[in-house]
Chain A
Amino acid sequence: MTLELKRTVYSPWLVVSVFGEIDMGSSPKLRTEIIRVINEGHSNLVLDLTSVDFIDSAGLGTIIGGLRRVRSHGGDLLLVCPQERIQKIFTLCDLDKIFTFYLTHDEAVEDNKEMD
């Protein structure tokens, strides 16, 4: 399944960059990574979807679950999502009311400095 993940520390945030397609087959890999980083003590996550080519409802569900998990640890999950076609899928499911779409890591972190 074509999904690759890369971590970058952007203190106090941990950026998880996602490459490829997030669907029923690949979303468990993302879910596992989110749970792993939370267990390692990172509850402030930036999920970077810049290089995501496709996302479906299973992917959306994984991200919703990620947000629930980090919040239960007192953290937050920010989305870097510059692609309009990916934003559209969140919007169709009314999830633009839950997530803000940032264009870059810098913008996401700058806009949430109170977390520092």
Chain B
Amino acid sequence: MSRSDYSSGMVELRIPAKAEYIQLVRTVIGEVASINPNLNLGRIADLRLAVSEAVTNAYREHTRQNIEDQIVIRCDLSKGKIEIEINDQGAGFNPDQIPSLPDSEDPNRLNHESGVGFSLIQELSDETVVEVGEEGTKVRLIFNLNDA
């Protein structure tokens, strides 16, 4: 199957900002991504985790700011790569200003139960783009495809 067969491969999900929907999103997006045979199982697992982290961040922002709008997730298979956009209505963030954690060998590291989500997203995705504007915050995760 050639990549051009996915020219209309856009899937959109709209979910309430509730934690119980995060599993649904990663399951659906993982299944959508697996339609393309050029992404191996390991990369699909990476994609599911990165999507889950990004949706979790969106959920946290909506919860923190009491935003009732839905979170929108779009998955586009049509560009010779897989692009997933997570769009929330939170105030956004600057990836360069995320506080760093203590070193793992520092006993104080155990006092930090959060703070690795965005670095995981960056580690797992081939490219990560954050845009903050009038349409809210958009985090775009890009996964390149290997030739099968």
Contact = CB atoms under 8 A, between A and B. Distances in A.
Q: Do A and B come from one complex?
A: yes
Contacts of B59: 24
A81 B40 CA distance: 23
Nearest to A20: B23
B5 interface: no
A62 interface: yes
Interface in B27-57: 42, 45, 48-49, 52-53, 56
Interface string A38-70: 000000000000000010111011101101100
B96 to A, nearest CB: 19
Contact of A56 (B53, B60, B110, B112): B53
Interface class of chain A by DSSP: helix
A25 interface: yes
A21 B60 CA distance: 19
A89 B42 CA distance: 12
A89 B49 contact: yes
Interface residues of A, number: 27
A98 B101 CA distance: 14
Q: Of residues B26, B49, B113, which shows the largest number of chain A Cβ atoms within 10 Å of its Cβ?
A: B113
Interface of B: 19-20, 22-23, 26, 42, 45, 48-49, 52-53, 56, 59-60, 103-105, 109-114, 116-117, 119-120, 123-124
Interface of A: 1-2, 21, 23-26, 54, 56-58, 60-62, 64-65, 67-68, 71, 85, 89, 92-95, 97-98
